[in-house]
């Protein structure tokens, strides 16, 4: 199976993961995102402690001694989150491009952003790579950077990694759903909706 613009006739839809006009789904994703935020924060801090135990206390310090310090923290959080969103979606887009050789579509919907390839149907395992590349790839790069960056960058690096991981909750949900499908499966990603198609009789 290869990426295709034309879905073979033997395939039929098994359902969609659709965020369009679906506040309940968005709420559920955000709630699970908070859980993933806490788990990933624990995991990345543990990794940093193993790699740089002598510097972690000095590196993980946010100042709250004045209004200026509080505003600085807010600005850092907003900037890091914005950069994370751009990089996260760029990685999705890169792998869409690698598999389809077509420029992906990018959009920002206020509460979420996405990269998409609405004109393409991607086979199961290619789409799994697209879905999980930002979480796996950026986490691996970030853990590698933990060993070499100055300790003054620990907080920014951890914030990037944790927000990237928690922001991948939708990717993880779709990946889990896709893994339960037979190998003869295509995914069509509109950005705010993913539809899966399986071959008739596939098990």
Q: Please name every residue paired with 188 in a beta bridge, in sequence order, or none if there are none.
A: 195
Please give the Cα distance from 198 to 124 (Å, whole number): 10
- Please work out, in degrees rounded to the nearest 5, the angle formed at the alpha carbon of residue 74 by the alpha carbons of 136 and 26: 55
Give me 197's structure tokens: 């198609």
Q: Report pLDDT for 9.
A: 87
pLDDT tens digits, residue range 30-43? 788 888 899 999 99
What parts of the chain have a pLDDT lower than 70?
A: 21-22, 25-26, 59, 61-70, 110-112, 201-203
Question: 92, 168 in Cβ contact below 8 A?
Answer: no
Question: 197, 190 in Cβ contact below 8 A?
Answer: no
Picking from 117, 99, 133, the residue whose alpha carbon sits closest to that of residue 190 is 117
Q: Report pLDDT for 62.
A: 57
């Amino acid at each position: 199976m290869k990426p295709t613009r034309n879905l073979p006739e033997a395939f039929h839809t098994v359902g969609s993961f659709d965020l369009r006009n679906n506040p309940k789904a968005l709420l559920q994703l955000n709630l699970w995102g908070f859980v993933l935020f806490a788990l990933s924060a624990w995991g990345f801090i543990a990794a940093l402690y193993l790699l740089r135990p002598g510097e972690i206390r000095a590196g993980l310090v946010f100042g709250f001694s004045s209004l200026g310090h509080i505003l600085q923290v807010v600005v850092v959080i907003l900037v890091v989150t914005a950069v994370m969103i751009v990089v996260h979606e760029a990685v999705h887009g890169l792998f869409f491009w690698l598999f389809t050789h077509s420029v992906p579509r990018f959009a920002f919907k206020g509460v979420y952003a996405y990269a998409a390839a609405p004109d393409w149907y991607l086979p199961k395992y290619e789409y799994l790579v697209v879905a999980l590349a930002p979480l796996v790839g950026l986490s691996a790069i970030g853990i590698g950077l933990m060993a070499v960056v100055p300790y003054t960058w620990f907080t920014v690096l951890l914030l990037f990694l944790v927000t990237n991981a928690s922001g991948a909750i939708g990717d993880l949900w779709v990946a889990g759903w896709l893994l339960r499908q037979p190998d003869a499966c295509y995914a069509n990603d509109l950005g705010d909706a993913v539809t899966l198609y399986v071959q008739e009789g596939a098990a």
